[in-house]
Structure formats: C-alpha cells, structure tokens
Amino acid sequence: MKPTDISAPDYFHKVVDCQWACPAHTPVPEYIRLIADGRYSDAYMINWKSNVFPGILGRTCDRPCEPACRRGRVEENPVAICRLKRVAADFKDNVQHRMPKPGPKNGKRIALVGGGPASLAVARDLAPLGYHCTVFDSDPKAGGMMRSQIPKFRLPDSVIDEETGYILGLGVEFKGGHRVDSLKKLLAENYDAIFVGSGAPRGRELDIPGRKEAASNIHIGIEWLANVSFGHVDKIGRRVIVLGGGNTAMDCCRTARRLGGSDVKVVVRSGFEEMKASPWEKEDAMHEDIPILNFMVPVAFIHNNGKLTGVTFQKVKAEYDAKGRRNLVPAGEPDQTIPCDDVLVAVGQENAFPWIERDCGIEFDKWNMPKVDPKTFVSTNPKVFFGGDAAFGPKNIIWAVAHGHDAALSIHKLLSGEDINERPLPEVHVSSQKMGIHEWSYDNDISADKRFKVPHRDKVIALKDIRAEVELGYDVKLALGEAQRCLNCDVQTVFSAPLCIECDACVDICPMDCITFTENGEEDDLRQRLSAPSPHHDQALYVQDGLKTGRVMVKDEDVCLHCGLCAERCPTGAWDMQKYLIDMTYAGSTCQTKARSAA
C-alpha cells in the first residue's frame, strides 16, 4: 500500500466516525469534551454553528452519528450523542449575545419558500452577510414540520420558539400564514434568488377497498398530527390502528394514546427489524403499551354503512431472492380482521409542487421531482434552489440543515459573481495535545461505563398530558458520565517514521491490537496479516513507510480507543496525539474562490 496522506482533509475526518456520518459534520467529540468540562454554552455554540437547531435536534434527530460511533464497535452501545446535544441546550446560559449580528444590508433579496429547517438554515447563513431574507410559510409560526408534525411531548414549543427566534432575530422577515401558490408570481417579484424548502407535505394514500366509504374515521398521519399540533383535533376513538412503520407512525400511535386511544396498535407490512422507525422510537412506543404487529398487509377497511369497524390484513412472510432482495409473499394463513374505531395512515410522505408552474424554467424528472444538482442544490433555473425534503424527497431535519448550508453557499457565490460549482475546501487544524511526558490536554483515561439511560417522566403522568415532555434529559451528573464515554476520536494518532526505532512499545501497549509492523503488501493481503482481524474495509488502514528495517507501520483505525498509550509508551515521540478540527465552508467564509489545501 502507498503511505497514507494524512494531510488530505477527509482522512482524519473519516476517523471521527460520528462527525463524518453527520450530514452537517458537527464536531461531536469537541462539544462533548466541553460538556464534560461544564462549558455548556460553548458546546451549544459549536452545535449551533454546524446544525443550527441543537435543542430541537437534541430531542428529535435521526442520529446518523450514533450507529457510526466507534464506541458501538468496542462495546454494546454508542455514546448518547444526541441526548448530550440536548444537555448543551438545556444547561447553557443566555447565548443571545453570542449570536451573529445582522450585517449591513447588501441590497440583495432572497425569498425562502417554507419556514422549516432548510429555509431557516439558509437564512441563518445569509442574513448576517447582509442579504434581505423573506421566509414564507402557510403556518403562523416558523418551524415547518418541526412544529406541525413532531408531537409536543417530544419537542415542546418553547424550544422551537427559542431556536427559530435566534434566526428570525438576524433581521429575517417572516411572512406567516402566507402560502406561496405560484412560483411564477414569486419570480415576478424580482428576488435575487429563491430557495424552495417546502418539504414533503403530502401524506401517502392507502387506496384499498373501504377507504372512501369509511373516510371519516381514516386519517392521513401527518395531516392528523398537524391538526393535533394546532389544536384542531383533541380526541380519537378508543381502539386505534396505525398503519406504517416509520417514525411518523410512532408519533401517531403515541399521540393517539394521549387523546383517548386506550387500545392502540401499530401494524406493519415488513418484519419488525426492517421497520423504518428508529429503534429508540419503537422502544418508546412499546413502553407506552403499544404493540407492533408485523408481516401484515392491509387489504380492506371494514365498515358498517360508512362507520369504520376494522381493518382486514393478509399475513405475509419474507422471502429473499438470489440477489438478497426481499419479497413479501402470502404466508398462506387466513386473513385477520382487527376491530377498531379509527385508523391513522402513516405509510410515507410525498413531495407536491402544484404551485410550481411547469413553464418557469424548472425541469422535473419522471418522478415529478425537480431536477436539482446534489452539490449546489440549484435547479435548472439558475436563480432557484431547492433543499431539505423538497430537494430529494423525505429525509430528516439534520439533512435539511446540511442542504441549507450548501444552498446558502451557492446563493452567496452566485450573487457574488462566482462559479457556484467551485466549492472551497474546508479548513483543517491539527495540533498536538501533549502537555507533559504523560499529560495530554484531553482526558485519555477510558471510561468503562455502559450507556446511561435518559430519565423519563412517569408513564401515568406522561400519558395524561399531551404537552408533557416524556424525556426529562440528563442531569449534570448523568451528562458527565455519558460524556466520559466519548473516545475522543478527533484526537488523532499521528506517526512519524523517521523518529521510530521499531522497539514495539506501541504494539505491546495498544489495548486494541491496532498497530502492526510488517512487510508491505496490497491492502487485502495486509489486512490478513495484522495483529488483530480487520473485517471492516470501510475503516482505513494508516500506513507509513520509511522505517530502518524496510517494514511499514500499519494502524487499523477501526477500533482505536484514542487512549494515547502508544504515544505515552513511545520513547522517541514517533507517535503523537493531535487534535483534528475541521471548519466546514459556509457562505461568507474567507478566501472563497481560492481552493485551500489542508493545514
């Protein structure tokens, strides 16, 4: 193998698995260290810069970081990254004075369609640069689906008000209750750029017999949730069936439990394991006495003269073809009818752009989705950008934020007369953490604690009040314990071959058998010859040559604890622990046009 080029900005970034997996590339270990240090406001601001909604995401994020967390490969559970983010939001001081100030106006006007996370992220990046941002939303308050679809017992309004308030406080104009019903009209208002962050607002239908006849007791999940959220709906039948296996279905069933549904069931087509809902959301639902029945396909709504009485399901099983694709085939068992009073349909969301005229320069593909560049988020109309669910279909808040940052950068470059396809590289800082012979500026003693549970409100009380937040969040002590579980993966092991005397001290001390000195070879061959097996090919091997014996140093990054013992036991300082920080490029970062190399 060729020696690893650690100056490439991505190399160490990938070692920080959580940060790499986060669409917005939040510097997770950095803010977790600040939490451990009690510096909650600093931790909050690091989050705020990357993901814009720390308090909201700390309660609701899909957490792509946690399955990626190295701790999950070392023991059973990853670090509770998401809930630590909430700790930063819960315990911070007033941070209003640390927010950017609205910049002097530059005379450029941006229209943002939809007041959800994507649009607000764009406004957050552009307003301080002097752009006049106008956000349009049909709801009276900003937040989009974060406000309308996420139940209040998971995300209180106060958190949404605070975090949307930081953005609107940057001089962003918010036009609530104003539905944009024609892009043509909006284009005619001569905005310098338009950002479409209107989400995926349409719940998918389930067109099976009885749907029309029993319509008054069959509700589309996201619409029903929005109606609950705005107080239009405040009760439901005693027996409720929720169809669908995603996170919306989980929100539906838990909401139904609080509005009078005492017998609520979730029924899914797939197997329990393949459900789209996050494991913790399934757990929370089951904790509230909601059974999840799987491998059942709804075939008919049963009604008595238009009064819904139940749903009939066909039982299926999963079969896998030669390519490993799953097919659901009839199990051969008799159909089952489950009686119920109401059904909530949460089988998916769709995009809908009835308000975009097809002759205003925006091309659509065969799925009726706008053609959007995945890097710059520009549509085929150079002044119109898309982001969030509106761009590539339903995802989640953190992806919407990441899209917002990238679209804001594109808009800023476009309106600065630059090529939007030229994306400046991020800025990277790498600095030694050595403080003394055996002292490091981070806590390298590895905690053996198991993941701490987040305290929940008592179930009886929680189910009585739809606005009572179920999760109470970590207290300071629990937060400290959980923060200590972080392995500091951003403190990198950096090897200098010219200093190495090949004494094997690092090999002997490494608790995870990560380090091997051996003859060089092709990657597949090398992976076979390491001190410990290396089954994860997506995890890099760090290879360095230039040793006196002609061998190479190979470090498998996979399960390194970043404990620094290799560096402590190295007599010549050939190993050093160096903190890697990456500054993602946002709109308005300096040196925009000049592609910078890594530090």
Partner 1 sequence: MTYIAKPKFHHPGLPKNELGYTHRDYEGKISTLCAGCGHDSITASIIEACYELSIEPHRVAKISGIGCSSKTPDYFLGNSHGFNSVHGRMPSVLTGANLANRDLIYLGVSGDGDSASIGFGQFAHSIRRGVNMTYIVENNGVYGLTKGQFSATADFGSKSKKGVTNTDNAIDLVAIALQLGATFVARSFSGDKTQLVPLIAAAIRHKGASFIDVISPCIAFNNHAGSTKSFDYVREHNDAVNRLDVLVGREPIAVDYAPGTVQVVEQHDGTKLALRKLDADYDPHDRLGAQNFLQKHAAKGQIVTGLLYVDPEAEDLHAHLDTVETPLNTLDEKALCPGSAALDKINASLR
Q: Toward partner 1, which CB reaches closer, 271 or 481?
A: 481
- Contacts (CB under 8 A) with partner 1, residues 557-586: 559, 561, 563, 565, 568-572
DSSP conformational letter for 217 = G
Q: What is the DSSP letter of 471?
A: B
Token pair 């089954």 in the structure block, residue? 535
Could you say whether residue 457 binds partner 1 (CB under 8 A)?
A: no
Per the structure block, which two tokens stand in for 537? 């090919």
The binder of partner 1 chosen from 419, 475, 504, 525 (CB under 8 A):
504
Q: Coil, strand, or helix at residue 565?
A: helix
Residues 408-447 that bind partner 1 (CB under 8 A): 438, 444-446
Residue 456's DSSP bridge partners are: 471
Cβ proximity to partner 1, 157 vs 439, nearer residue: 439
Taking the least distance from each CB to partner 1, the nearer of 415 and 561 is 561
d(CA 93, CA 274): 41
Residue 449: Cβ-neighbour burial (10 angstroms; 0-12, 13-18, 19+): exposed
Residue 412 near residue 129 (C-beta atoms within 8 A): yes
Nearer to partner 1, 499 or 591 (CB): 499
Please give the C-alpha separations between residue 353 and each of 199, 227, 386, 389, in angstroms, as whole numbers. 10, 22, 12, 12
Q: Does 75 bind partner 1 (CB under 8 A)?
A: yes
Please give the Cα distance from 237 to 77 (Å, whole number). Answer: 38
**CB of 538: closest distance to partner 1 in angstroms?**
15
Amino acid at 345: V
449 part of the interface to partner 1, by CB under 8 A: no
Shortest spacing between CB 572 and partner 1, in angstroms = 7
Q: Strand 439-440 vs strand 434-436: parallel, antiparallel, or unpaired?
A: antiparallel
Q: How far is the CB of 580 from partner 1 (least distance, A)?
A: 21
Min dist CB 180 to partner 1, Å, is 52
How far apart are the C-alpha atoms of 245 and 268, rounded to whole Å? 5
In the bound state with partner 1, the residue whose beta carbon lies nearer, of 418 and 502, is: 502
Nearer to partner 1 by Cβ, of 229 and 484: the residue is 484
CB of 549 to partner 1, least distance (A): 7
The least CB distance from residue 529 to partner 1, in Å, is: 12
Minimum distance from residue 44 beta carbon to partner 1 (Å):
30
Q: Report the distance separating Cα 243 and Cα 329, nearest Å.
A: 19
Coil, helix or strand at residue 311: strand
Comparing CB distances to partner 1, the nearer of 318 and 547 is 547
Instruction: Please tell me whether residue 74 binds partner 1 under the rule CB under 8 A.
Output: yes
Min CB(386)–partner 1 separation in Å: 42
Taking the least distance from each CB to partner 1, the nearer of 247 and 534 is: 534
User: CB atoms < 10 A from the CB of 364, how many?
Assistant: 14
| Min separation Cβ 440 and partner 1, Å | 10
Which range binds partner 1 by CB under 8 A, 70-78, 231-239, 367-375, 538-546?
70-78
Least Å distance, CB 385 to partner 1, is 44
Q: Is 548 in the site for partner 1 (CB under 8 A)?
A: yes
Q: How wide is the angle at C-alpha 247 spanned by C-alphas 539 and 231, nearest 5°?
A: 145
| C-beta of 450 vs 459, nearer to partner 1 | 450
* Interaction residues for partner 1, span 508-547 (CB under 8 A): 508-509, 511-514, 532-533, 535
Here the tokens at position 361 are 């320069």
**C-alpha dihedral sign at 135, 138, 140, 144:** negative
Size of the site for partner 1 (CB under 8 A): 34
- What are the E-state strand segments in 467-522? 491-495, 515-518
Give the side-chain half-sphere CA count within 13 A for 153.
Answer: 29
Q: Which lies closer to partner 1 via its Cβ, residue 75 or residue 283?
A: 75
Instruction: For residues 285 and 236, give the distance between their C-alpha atoms in angstroms, rounded to a whole number.
Output: 17
Phi, psi torsion values for 539, nearest 5 degrees: -95, 130
Taking CB under 8 A as the rule, which mask of x and - marks residues 288-327 in contact with partner 1? ----------------------------------------
- Contacts with partner 1 by CB under 8 A lie at 73-75, 438, 444-446, 448, 501-505, 507-509, 511-514, 532-533, 535, 548-549, 559, 561, 563, 565, 568-572
